[in-house]
């Protein structure tokens, strides 16, 4: 049954496309009368549709033919727009990636400070151009200073939430609630 379903699918597709049936399908017809009958009905249906289509065929309007021919005789008004090499988003992404790679290349080739001698050069620079060295203590101080606004904001949010819960409890909970009984 499943094989017949597959062969009928071949029959339908090949008949609609007006192709010859594969040899395996033709061999199946020799042993399966149901599929052979199906093939005959498909061919008959296709022949009826083709014959009926010829009677419904209409000639195109002579005005349409004239308009098509006139448009072919005219010079092209505008050349088709040239296709862009890359869409703007991709081009931007490629430029950013190229700049990033170029920056990495420049940083890799930049001379590296060589130990204590560079420290003495840095200490001889004026204080306004001097960038402090990153140490564990400096990092801890910076982290603490950056966390202070966040901590104060969190304390404010917690205080507001507590006040809101208290107001909801005062306005919506009954005043005399029975205590839960111990069982």
Final residue before a domain boundary, out of 29, 53, 77: 53
pLDDT for residue 126 is more than 60? no
How far from 20 is each of 3, 17, 26, 41, CA to CA, in Å? 19, 9, 10, 16
Half-sphere exposure (CA, 13 Å, Cβ side) for 170?
6
Q: What is the mean pLDDT of residues 15-23?
A: 79
Q: How many domains does the chain have?
A: 2
**Sole residue written with tokens 């098509």:** 68
Is residue 35 in some structural domain? yes
Question: Ranked by mean pLDDT, which of 83-87, 95-99, 137-141 comes out on top?
Answer: 95-99
CA–CA separation, 85 and 65 (whole Å): 38
Is residue 27 in some structural domain? yes
Is residue 144 in some structural domain? yes
Is residue 44 in some structural domain? yes
**What is the pTM assigned to this prediction?**
0.31
The pLDDT assigned to 51 comes to: 80
Is residue 145 in some structural domain? yes
How far from 162 is each of 144, 150, 152, CA to CA, in Å? 26, 18, 15
CA–CA separation, 97 and 103 (whole Å): 10
Is residue 75 in some structural domain? no
CB 52 within 8 Å of CB 44:
no
Is residue 99 in some structural domain? no
Domain span at 37: 2-53
Least confident of 12-16, 38-42, 178-182: 178-182
The pLDDT assigned to 148 comes to: 85
């Amino acid at each position: 049954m499943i094989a017949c379903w597959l062969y009928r699918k071949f029959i339908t597709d090949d008949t609609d496309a007006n192709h010859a049936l594969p040899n395996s399908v033709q061999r199946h017809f020799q042993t399966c009368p149901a599929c052979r009958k199906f093939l005959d009905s498909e061919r008959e249906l296709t022949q009826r549709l083709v014959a009926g289509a010829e009677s419904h065929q209409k000639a195109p309007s002579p005005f349409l033919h004239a308009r098509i021919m006139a448009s072919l005789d005219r010079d092209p008004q505008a050349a088709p727009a040239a296709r862009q090499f890359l869409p703007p988003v991709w081009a931007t992404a490629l430029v950013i990636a190229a700049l990033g790679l170029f920056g990495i290349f420049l940083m890799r080739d930049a001379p590296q400070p060589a130990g204590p001698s560079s420290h003495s050069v840095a200490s001889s620079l004026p204080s306004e151009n001097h960038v402090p060295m990153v140490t564990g203590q400096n990092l801890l101080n910076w982290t603490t200073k950056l966390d202070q606004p966040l901590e104060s904001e969190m304390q404010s949010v917690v205080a507001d939430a507590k006040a809101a819960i208290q107001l909801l409890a005062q306005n919506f909970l009954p005043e005399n609630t029975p205590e839960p009984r111990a069982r």
